[in-house]
Amino acid sequence: MAARGGFFLSLLNYKTEKYVIAENRKIGILFRLYQLAVLGYIIGWVFVAKKGYQEKEEAIQTSVFTKLKGVALTNDSNKGLHLWGAEDYVIPPNGEQVFFVVTNYIETPNQRLGFCPESDRVPDGRCTSDDDCEEGETVIAGNGIKTGVCINSTGTCEVHAWCPVEYSPRPQEPLLSAAENFTVYIKNFIRFPNFNFFRSNVLETAEANYLKNCTYDSETHPYCPIFHLGNLVSWTGSDFQEMAVKGGSVGILIEWKCDLDKDYSLCNPQYSFTRLDININNSVTSGYNFRYAKHFKDPKGESFRTLYKVYGIRFDIMVNGQAGKFSIVPTIIALGSGIALLGAGAFACDMILLYMMNTSSFYRERKFEIINFNKDGKDSKAAHRERRSKKSSVEKEASNSITREDETGVAAAESQSSSVERRGPTIPRNTGQRYSALLSPGPDQKLHVSFSPRF
HEC string for 97-149: CEEEEEEEEEEEEEEEEEEEECCCCCHHHECCCHHHCCCCCECCCCCCEEEEE
Same domain, 203 and 339: no
Torsion of CA 25, 27, 29, 34, to 10 degrees: -170
Same domain, 81 and 71: yes
Instruction: Read off the CATH number of the domain in which 113 is found.
Output: 2.60.490.10
Torsion of CA 193, 196, 200, 203, to 10 degrees: -160
Same domain, 259 and 300: yes
Give percent of the chain above pLDDT 70.
Answer: 77
d(CA 288, CA 313): 7
Q: Are 116 and 158 in contact (CB under 8 A)?
A: yes
Same domain, 332 and 300: no
Q: Are 374 and 383 in contact (CB under 8 A)?
A: yes
Q: Is residue 428 part of a domain?
A: no
Quick one: pLDDT band at residue 434, thresholds 50, 70, 90? very low
Same domain, 177 and 287: yes
Q: Of 72-81, 321-330, 415-424, which range is least confident?
A: 415-424
pLDDT at 453 over 50: no
Q: Give the pLDDT confidence of 288-301 residue by residue, as tens digits.
A: 999 999 999 999 99
Higher per-residue pLDDT: 131 or 453: 131
Quick one: pLDDT band at residue 454, thresholds 50, 70, 90? very low
User: DSSP letter at 44?
Assistant: I
Q: H or E stretch including 32? A: helix 25-40
Quick one: pLDDT band at residue 430, thresholds 50, 70, 90? very low
The structural domain count of the chain equals 2
Angle between helices 328-355 and 360-367 (to 10 degrees): 130
Same domain, 220 and 303: yes
- Closest to 422 (Cα-Cα) out of 408, 409, 436, 438: 438
Higher per-residue pLDDT: 322 or 378: 322
- Closest to 134 (Cα-Cα) out of 122, 147, 115: 147
pLDDT at 219 over 50: yes
> Helix or strand or coil: residue 341?
helix
> Helix or strand or coil: residue 345?
helix
Instruction: Read off the CATH number of the domain in which 43 is found.
Output: 1.10.287.940
Quick one: pLDDT band at residue 78, thresholds 50, 70, 90? low
Name the binding residues: 67-69, 183, 289-291, 309
Same domain, 342 and 221: no
Average pLDDT over residues 402-422: 49
Same domain, 193 and 250: yes
Name the binding residues for ATP: 67-69, 183, 289-291, 309
Average pLDDT, the chain: 81
Q: Tell me what pLDDT residue 446 has.
A: 43
Where is the domain boundary, 313, 342, 369? 369
Quick one: pLDDT band at residue 389, thresholds 50, 70, 90? low
Q: How far apart are the first and last CA of the chain?
A: 109
Q: Is residue 5 part of a domain?
A: no
Q: Is residue 4 part of a domain?
A: no
What's the full length of the chain, in residues? 455
d(CA 148, CA 146): 6
Same domain, 317 and 177: yes
d(CA 107, CA 87): 17
**How large is the C-alpha radius of gyration of the chain?**
53
Q: Is residue 284 part of a domain?
A: yes
Average pLDDT over residues 422-446: 45
Same domain, 212 and 240: yes
Structural domain boundaries enclosing 348: 17-53+327-369
Same domain, 364 and 285: no
Same domain, 314 and 334: no
Long-range contacts of 276-284 (CB under 8 A, 24+ apart): 276/249, 276/250, 276/251, 276/316, 277/248, 277/249, 279/238, 279/243, 279/248
- Which conformational region is residue 316 in: left (phi greater than 0), alpha (psi within -120 to 50 degrees), or beta? beta
HEC string for 376-409: CHHHHHHHHHHHHHHHHHHHHHHHHHHHHHHHHH
Higher per-residue pLDDT: 408 or 57: 57
